[in-house]
Structure 1
Amino acid sequence: MTISRRDALTGALAGSAVALGPGSAVAAPLAGSATAPEWKRGFDNQRIADLGDGRFLNPLIAGDRPDPAILKDGADYYMTFSTFDSYPGLTIWHSRDLINWQPREAALRRNIGSVWAVSLEKHAGRYFLYIPVKAQPNSIFVIHADTIDGPWSDPIDLKLHDHIDPCHAVGEDGSRWLFLSGGDRIRLAEDGLSTAGPVEHVYDPWRYPDDWDVEGFSPEGPKIHRHGDWFYMLTAVGGTAGPPTGHMVIAARSRSIHGPWEQHPANPLVRTTSLDERWWSRGHASLVEAPDKSWWAVYHGYENGLWTLGRQTLLDPVQWTEDGWFRMMGGDLSQPLPKPRGGQALPHGMALSDDFSTLRLGAKWNFFRPAPDEASRARVEDGALLLQGRGTAPVDSSPLLLTAGDPSYMFECDIEIAPGGTAGLLLFYDDKLYCGLGFDEARFVTHQYGLERGRPANPHGRRMRMRVVNRHHIVSYHLSGDGGRSWSRFDRGMEVSGYHHNVRGGFLMLRPGLYAAGPGEARFRDFRFRAL
């Protein structure tokens, strides 16, 4: 990074943290802070990082995009994220400038468990994804493909039951390794599809002071990068959620992939130190080189007061120092930063509105914890999504969900049910914590706190248009029996700021979606989404 870029960063970082105000497109400042500019808006009015003036404003990708695994492949950049119980999973995102990203295809189609922090790599012309899963038992799988869009192979179980967060690395001698949580590693066979030795402990992570507020030591998310004469290992410690000051980035280096590892003298390199900061619990960092040869760190964090959005992807400029170390330059990431130069800017993100001319399972819609035959429930026909009912309520219906990255938004849809069926719209964290509104041909059903509650009469029969408004955690429902020409407000509302990991666990986010239960197919038409 050049001195001129550092000077530009110093000027951009004037001011301190801010938090978002309810329903506002502009970030509202906390006491004593500078006002951040308005985000630019993209598809469906969703906020995007690129400000269009040579700067960007985090988040890089809004909404629940945790544990980013990034790969530079020539002029292309690919990235994927933990997708947990959502399938198809591990959607590959593509960029050419490191700022604007588009989703492509999902790499993982078969449910093998809850997918945690993966490693995305390219070696000898082949792409690899090393995938830790929480299942019975826990393990780490590998899939591979000859092109980034697949087809990807069936998952191969490496039978590593006591570790998470693998990172593929190649040594100076050409040996292949998986570095694992806890400072461990295991050798891989030459083809990368099996292990070739025992797990060994190779690194004792740096330890923070005892009086810091953290969730736990939890050394995880190792990322190995070779730069110059050194191998660098970035690790997360302090716990992923819990206290906002817990999660942090530390680093070590070694001349050899075999160690010994020397701790960075400035650890931790990234840590939230005040509840007033915009970004909490920052960690799981990777290094990446931009098109202009500058260096950056990609990691995740929670937005101040918005745990419901999950861990969002952040981008932090990196400066290499004369002694062969590096430091993060983005401060608390509350202010715009200069973009890296070069590369083609693709349109960022995607529309969440859907006319159902096609069904984008994986890139847009995901089933929650699907059965092996779940995809057969959904098809499109004449501009409608036909979803076969399953179960009796959202708890056992495997709803279809989206990832929305704005603090306030609305979504609506025309819904028609089969005789005896039930369908509706949801805000869904998991099968034990959700809210929403559904209906059968005689009555509504209100979903609150993951339970089915009131059953008022339904005057509209088997077809109506429904709308959900989530305005900074205040939720309202609206109904139309004439296709959206006139609306009435449903006499139930919710406040959902507690629908998040620190209440329920699971590391998920509150997601908009739809469900169908009972006999027959529900027909969904003209799904519209708009950030507010």
Structure 2
Amino acid sequence: GTAGPPTGHMVIAARSRSIHGPWENCPANPLVRTTSLDEKWWSRGHASLVEAPDGSWWSVYHGFENGYWTLGRQTLLDSVEWTDDGWFRMTGGDLSKPLPKPRGGKALPHGQPLSDRFDGPLALGRKWNFFKPGPDEQTRARVEEQSLLLKASGQAPSSSSPLLLTAGDQAYQFECDIEIEPGGVAGLLLFYDEKLYCGLGFDEARFVTHQYGMERGRPANPYGRRLRMRVTNNRHIISFHLSGDGGKNWTRFDRGMEVSGYHHNVRGGFLYLRPGLYSAGQGTARFRDFRFRGL
């Protein structure tokens, strides 16, 4: 299945004239399966059939990108053909490349911009999502004067319900201007769940490094209650940079991390490693000019 070897998942079909059977297995089973570790997509399985408005048929199923369990199960689309004997088959092709655009059609952009200047209503539920939110979690966040104001909750990311994005890039950077109130602690994260995350936070006197879902080193913070922080995820290698002048000059933080094991096959949960931000302790943290870019 999903958490087994990359070649262990599959799609099979059976048919019957009655839901009570008897059932006949498709002689072409398995219809979809990862057969080699060299393939672009691992653990392919859990297919659904969909008929399009034009009468064409498609299969929607999931797979892990080769070597990137951290990105979670991703959605794959495969065209379907019906055979003369009443079965169907996936037409396959090279799933490492996007589908060609329709003849005469226009290429459409995919995804959505993840950067956020916080100059309009917070895209909660469409871009940003709280982790395991409580009934009134959304009341913690509000946007004003091109800033996201996030009221503190809990004492650490494990208890603060961080605000997260879904990113599908193998490598990316994200950065933000962060200002805290006295007694507050805030920062940027790569978050799987409340037991497995990493990142960097700060209060007015010290930094706090997050690794394996634990709070570790607390070196001195020379920037005070406001700084700009950048996180780079370069294919599972994590580094942090800091700036006290709004991003004109950067200093690399002296600790890095490796996160290739922050995924379902280690922790369970069918989740994925997501970039995000958190506010804990006391008061309200102010986040400005959040920028995200794939590398």
Report if TM-score (shorter chain) is over 0.5. Answer: yes
Name the counterpart of 1:464.
227
Structure 1 counterpart of 2:13, one-letter code: A
Counterparts in 2 of 1:196-235, with a 5 A limit?
none
For the aligned residues, what is the CA RMSD?
1.8
User: CA separation in 1, counterparts of 2:38 and 2:257?
Assistant: 26
* Of 131, 134, 145, the match for 1:368: 131
- Secondary structure at the aligned position of 1:502 is classed as helix
TM-score by length of 1: 0.53
1:390 equivalent to 2:153? Answer yes
User: CA separation in 2, counterparts of 1:359 and 1:302?
Assistant: 30
Shift of residue 341 of structure 1? 6.0
* Of 198, 212, 235, the match for 1:435: 198
- Secondary structure at the aligned position of 2:117 is classed as coil
User: CA separation in 2, counterparts of 1:491 and 1:276?
Assistant: 36
Name the counterpart of 2:73.
311
User: CA separation in 1, counterparts of 2:166 and 2:144?
Assistant: 24
Name the counterpart of 2:281.
518
Name the counterpart of 1:277.
39
User: CA separation in 2, counterparts of 1:261 and 1:381?
Assistant: 60
- Secondary structure at the aligned position of 1:371 is classed as coil
Shift of residue 267 of structure 1? 0.9
Name the counterpart of 2:86.
324
Deviations 1:340-387 (A, max 9, x none): 569887542211101112201111111111222211111111111110
User: CA separation in 2, counterparts of 1:336 and 1:402?
Assistant: 23
Name the counterpart of 1:528.
291
Structure 1, unmatched stretches of 5+, are: 1-238
Structure 2 counterpart of 1:276, one-letter code: D
User: CA separation in 2, counterparts of 1:345 and 1:258?
Assistant: 46
CA contact (8 A) 1:272 1:332 kept: no
Name the counterpart of 1:266.
28
CA contact (8 A) 1:330 1:337 kept: no
1:355 equivalent to 2:109? Answer no
User: CA separation in 1, counterparts of 2:239 and 2:11?
Assistant: 39
Counterparts in 2 of 1:128-527, with a 5 A limit?
239-257=1-19, 259-331=21-93, 333-335=95-97, 337-339=99-101, 347-356=109-118, 357-527=120-290
User: CA separation in 1, counterparts of 2:105 and 2:194?
Assistant: 42
- Secondary structure at the aligned position of 2:96 is classed as coil
- Secondary structure at the aligned position of 1:484 is classed as coil
- Secondary structure at the aligned position of 2:266 is classed as helix
Shift of residue 317 of structure 1? 1.6
User: CA separation in 2, counterparts of 1:471 and 1:248?
Assistant: 31
CA contact (8 A) 2:32 2:45 kept: yes
User: CA separation in 2, counterparts of 1:420 and 1:322?
Assistant: 71
Change in Cα spacing, 1:339 to 1:297, as seen in structure 2 (3 Å) is farther
Structure 2 counterpart of 1:329, one-letter code: T
Deviations 1:128-187 (A, max 9, x none): xxxxxxxxxxxxxxxxxxxxxxxxxxxxxxxxxxxxxxxxxxxxxxxxxxxxxxxxxxxx
Structure 2 counterpart of 1:449, one-letter code: Y
Shift of residue 262 of structure 1? 2.0
Shift of residue 243 of structure 1? 0.8
CA contact (8 A) 1:279 1:332 kept: no
- Secondary structure at the aligned position of 2:12 is classed as strand
User: CA separation in 2, counterparts of 1:410 and 1:369?
Assistant: 25
CA contact (8 A) 2:152 2:281 kept: yes
CA contact (8 A) 1:516 1:522 kept: yes
Structure 2, unmatched stretches of 5+, are: none
- Secondary structure at the aligned position of 1:396 is classed as helix
Deviations 1:426-445 (A, max 9, x none): 00011111110000001111
How many positions carry a matched residue from both structures?
294
Structure 2 counterpart of 1:392, one-letter code: Q
Deviations 1:101-150 (A, max 9, x none): xxxxxxxxxxxxxxxxxxxxxxxxxxxxxxxxxxxxxxxxxxxxxxxxxx
User: CA separation in 1, counterparts of 2:291 and 2:234?
Assistant: 16
CA contact (8 A) 1:277 1:332 kept: no
